[in-house]
Each structure stands twice: as structure tokens, then as C-alpha cells.
Amino acid sequence: QITLTQQAESLWVSPGEKVSITCRASQSLLYTDGKHYLSWYQQRPGQTTKALIYHASIRTDGVPTRFIGSGSGTEFTLSIEDVQPEDIALYYCLQTLKKPYTFGAGTKLELK
């Protein structure tokens, strides 16, 4: 199965700063259609999990433009520019290239 590694368990950030969360896959997530099957999710207490980014870099409808997905092959990054207090959450990457689908271990964004 494909392993996704999110190295940082926690990241500390002040409001207004930029933060990057990385996700490394054990094999390329590029499919023959030219798209990467890597998506990012936000999990906040008391709220349903929210899809932020799909195909590595496309924002889901309604997601603020400060959320930016990038990367290719096996290395992917979720960047949050101008972090807002409501961005404090857990962030997960997910690969849907091959079954079993697998998540990264998650990165907790915390306020300094």
C-alpha cells in the first residue's frame, strides 16, 4: 500500500504568518490522466471534516485563497498564507490513487 508521511506532528504559528505542511508519498501519485490523486483535509473540533484541496493543487469550492496546494510526484505541500485563528486545526493528506486509500498521520496547527 502507499504510505503517506507527514513529518511534522505539530506546527506552531502566529496569526498572519505563513505555514507549510508537507506530505511525502512512498510512490508517485501521478495517474495516467496527468493528475495527482492527492487531497488535503481540515479537521476542526465540533465540525465535520472539510476537503480543502484535490488533485494536489485545486481548491475545493468556497475554500479561501490563502490555502494553496502544490507539489508533484511524491512530494506535496499545503501552504496557508496569512494564517487566521480559525485555521487552527488538524490537517491530513489522502491518496486515492490506489486502494487501500491511505491518509497521512496528520499535522496539528497550533497557535504560538
Determine the Cα–Cα distance for residues 98 and 83; give it in Å rounded to an integer: 32
105 in contact with another protein (CB under 8 A): yes
Q: What is the dihedral of CA 91, 92, 93, 94, to 10 degrees?
A: -150
Looking at residues 49 to 88 of the shown chain, list those that interact with another protein (rule: CB under 8 A). 49-51, 54-55, 60
Residue 91 CB, nearest distance to another protein (Å)? Answer: 11
Side chain identity at 59, as an amino acid letter?
R
Binding pattern to another protein, positions 16-55, x when CB under 8 A? Answer: ---------------------x-x-x-x----xxxx--xx
Residue 14 CB, nearest distance to another protein (Å)? Answer: 26
Determine the Cα–Cα distance for residues 71 and 22; give it in Å rounded to an integer: 9
Determine the Cα–Cα distance for residues 20 and 8; give it in Å rounded to an integer: 10
- For another protein, the binding residues (CB under 8 A) are 37, 39, 41, 43, 48-51, 54-55, 60, 92, 94, 96, 99-106
